[in-house]
Structure 1
Amino acid sequence: MLAITVPGRPAALSILLSVVLAASGCTVAVAPQGSQTQTAARPVISGTPQKAPADKNFATIVARVEPVAEQVCRATPPARNCDFRIELDRDPSKPANAYQTQLANGQPLLVVNQTLLNDLRNADEVAFVLSHEAAHHISDHIARQQSTTEAAAIAAGLAAAALGGTSSTIASAQELGAFTGSRAYSKNYELEADSLGAQIAYHAGYDPVDGVAYFSRARDPGDQFLGTHPPNGDRIRVVQQTMARLTRGQ
């Protein structure tokens, strides 16, 4: 068990949250070197794809990745909106970023900004980034993250109340619980999206192993407790393992 200390929060809340986490089983599993990660989704498309053009053209890559992502989305229960909208944010002042969200009508939106696109060296890397973001939607990570956050906040608030906490202490416990819950499984979600994203990119005609090589150059977040992203080495390894299974026909 790890005690969590957050600046500006009473020590009692840190102890309380440690108890809540232990009771709710909020752990982050990272695949050790040489093992097969449990985050890998089963392939839903069979066959060997036709190799995509090597040109790093955003529109061309979108035209190949989007239909594959939609096919995987529709083949993965439960039913959801699989009409992906993919955009390039051309504002050069923004730091490198890619993300997925949902519009008010439930349509999934994937965004890559120009700064990140400039950092990506080839079509394989662009395709992997798009496929990774599509995989977040297919895996329902927004809804799952919200559920985890709400559950942790409720559990922390109930525990604080049971210990005789004041309304202020309960509110603080709920806030800290929500913070922790939002990060409890985020590393696993990233690895899940890497694995499924590798399959999408592969079936779109790109090389995910070359695509994930971006993380050999990107800043490594390390294995920080309550961090939102796993170490870059784990992400590269997950993609390599996924592709080894996929190319063996498993």
Structure 2
Amino acid sequence: MTALRSFLAVLMLLGLGACALPTGANRLSPEESAELRQKADRAARQFAEVVETVEPVAERMCRERREDDRCAFRIAIDSRGRMPANAFQTLDTDGQPVLIFTLALIADMQNPDELAFVMSHEASHHILDHLKRQRDYAAQGAQVYADAALRAGASKAAVRRASEMGAAYGARSYSRQFELDADYLGTQIARAAGYDPLRGALYFDRLPDPGDKFLGSHPPNAERMATVRRALAAR
């Protein structure tokens, strides 16, 4: 995706998202409307610039680390205006990586370093093959729990529930480590693309701290910041 295409897409979508305002928003003053448009314009330009600089670095590091050729990153935008701030990695029908960002996340980024860090983090999930590994762990967990239920003489329904529980446990068991691994490699990608990962990771300070919950999907914010610092020290 070129910077121009990214810019036009985000500018249009942020403009559409800005139209989905609370009741009474149609009475915005001309000054307020102009300010809203300026914010959308800045966010769109920032997104386009970060895509243009981060994507080729992520692709290069992907080709250095993966044995297959699935490194043609595509950056996509979730245009549903009411979706919360979020970014995630998935695959297209050809198994190529897709990084998806919601409008709320794009608008919430306070500087290019934050957006570059988030983008690099999501790209790292693909480079490290986390989706496949998570599926494998889920399948292993499902099998172990189902086998245990069968040996205990459980009913078919109980075996099915055990399998589902094992899959959930297996998928979650390594999720926090996956996040830290993506933070580590994401730091290196963002730095190689010319951004300040430590400044970018300060985005964590604006998020609720997940703490140290059992089987939590994300690690504590302090642990993530420590991981970023370790990655920066490993030059």
* TM-score range for the pair, normalised by the shorter chain length: 0.7 to 0.9
The runs of 5 or more residues in structure 1 that have no matched partner are 1-54
- For residues 217-236 of structure 1, the C-alpha deviation after alignment (integer angstroms, 9 at most, x for no partner) is 11111111111111111111
Q: Which residue of 1 aligns with 2:71?
A: 82
Q: Which residue of 2 aligns with 1:238?
A: 227
Q: Which residue of 2 aligns with 1:68?
A: 57
Q: Give the counterpart of 1:116 among 105, 109, 132.
A: 105
Compute the displacement of 1:56 (Å).
6.4
For 1:113 and 1:204, locate their aligned partners in 2 and report how far apart those are by CA, in whole Å: 22
Is 2:115 the counterpart of 1:105? Answer: no
Is 2:217 the counterpart of 1:228? Answer: yes
Q: Which moved more, 1:104-113 or 1:85-94?
A: 85-94
Q: Which moved more, 1:89-98 or 1:148-157?
A: 89-98
Equivalent residues in 2 for 1:27-66, closer than 5 Å: 57-66=46-55
Q: Give the counterpart of 1:195 among 173, 184, 188.
A: 184
Q: Which residue of 1 aligns with 2:29?
A: none
Counterpart code for 2:58? A
Percent identical residues: 46
**Native 8 Å contact 1:100 1:136 kept in 2:** yes
**Native 8 Å contact 1:56 1:123 kept in 2:** no
For 1:245 and 1:199, locate their aligned partners in 2 and report how far apart those are by CA, in whole Å: 9
TM-score computed with the length of structure 1 as normaliser: 0.74
TM-score computed with the length of structure 2 as normaliser: 0.79
For 1:172 and 1:98, locate their aligned partners in 2 and report how far apart those are by CA, in whole Å: 31
Count of equivalent residues? 192
Q: Which residue of 1 aligns with 2:133?
A: 144
Q: Which moved more, 1:112-121 or 1:182-191?
A: 112-121
Q: Give the counterpart of 1:211 among 165, 177, 200.
A: 200
Is 2:171 the counterpart of 1:165? Answer: no
The runs of 5 or more residues in structure 2 that have no matched partner are 1-43
- For residues 197-241 of structure 1, the C-alpha deviation after alignment (integer angstroms, 9 at most, x for no partner) is 000000000000001000011111111111111111111110011
- Cα separation, partners in 2 of 1:56 and 1:237, compared to 1, 3 Å: farther
DSSP 3-state at the match of 1:100? strand
For 1:186 and 1:180, locate their aligned partners in 2 and report how far apart those are by CA, in whole Å: 10
For 2:147 and 2:69, locate their aligned partners in 1 and report how far apart those are by CA, in whole Å: 33
For 1:168 and 1:61, locate their aligned partners in 2 and report how far apart those are by CA, in whole Å: 50
